[in-house]
């Protein structure tokens, strides 16, 4: 498994901040970290340039080149706030197989009210027929599961809203940790193209 950080040329300025807290709070990270950008390679960092394409097209382009079955999806504005327990990440990754197509690692939000119990300790299942059954917050994904419902031409937000309709035909499950494994401010550093003041304030205070 690789840790795959999705970005775009517009937000490359966020990557030093992302890496600062990512490396500080996950010093024993055993996974190769790869950044997916549009056209610009990053000095000294493994980078996949997918081209100046819509978000979904870039993801499809990347996944078609990806040779492993699962990957950890992050974004450059998910600023990790607390130490990461690598054993919990490994455990979550081990669950992402067979009929479990996605394991969410982020904190619960307003949509977590739809969760229901599973036989897996520490996790609940998210129904495929609810809003945001496709969430592109930090998760471990089966590559082929995500490819099932990606649609070329869509933005990241369209992938979540329209993908949540397409995913309903899948036979796989989505599970969500009861307690966050990767901690960051909900929604990330950027919200609808604007800097989150709460996250920006936290970064300055904790640098």
3-state secondary structure of 124: strand
Let me know: does 174 contact 133? Beta carbons within 8 Å. yes
Q: What pLDDT does 20 receive? A: 97
Q: What pLDDT does 188 receive? A: 86
Q: What is the mean pLDDT of residues 29-40?
A: 96
* Of the candidates 186, 182, 95, the residue with the CA atom closest to the CA atom of residue 141: 95
pLDDT per residue as tens digits for the range 132-187: 999 999 999 999 999 999 999 999 999 999 999 999 999 999 999 999 999 998 77
Q: What pLDDT does 60 receive? A: 98
CA distances from 160 to 16, 55, 66, 204 (A): 27, 11, 21, 31
- The tokens for 147 are 């490819």
- Percent of the chain residues past pLDDT 70, beyond the cut: 100
Q: What pLDDT does 21 receive? A: 97
- For the chain, which residues make up each domain, given as ranges? 2-206
Whole-structure pTM value: 0.95
Architecture, CATH, for domain 2-206: Alpha-Beta Complex (3.90)
């Amino acid at each position: 498994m690789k840790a795959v950080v999705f970005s775009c040329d517009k937000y490359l300025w966020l990557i030093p901040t992302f890496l600062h807290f990512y490396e500080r709070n996950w010093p024993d990270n055993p996974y190769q970290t790869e950044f997916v950008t549009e056209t610009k390679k990053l000095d000294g960092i493994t980078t996949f340039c997918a081209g100046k394409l819509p978000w979904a097209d870039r993801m499809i382009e990347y996944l078609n080149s990806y040779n492993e079955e699962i990957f950890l999806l992050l974004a450059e504005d998910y600023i990790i706030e607390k130490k990461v327990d690598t054993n919990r990440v490994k455990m979550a990754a081990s669950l992402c197989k067979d009929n479990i197509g996605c394991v969410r690692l982020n904190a619960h939000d307003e949509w977590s009210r739809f969760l229901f119990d599973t036989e897996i300790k520490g996790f609940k299942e998210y129904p495929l027929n609810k809003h945001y059954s496709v969430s592109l917050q930090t998760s471990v994904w089966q590559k082929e599961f995500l490819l099932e419902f990606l649609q070329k031409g869509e933005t990241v937000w369209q992938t979540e809203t329209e993908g949540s309709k397409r995913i309903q035909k899948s036979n796989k499950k989505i599970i969500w940790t009861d307690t966050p494994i990767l901690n960051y401010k909900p929604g990330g550093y950027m919200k609808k193209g604007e800097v989150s003041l709460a996250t920006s304030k936290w970064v300055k205070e904790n640098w």
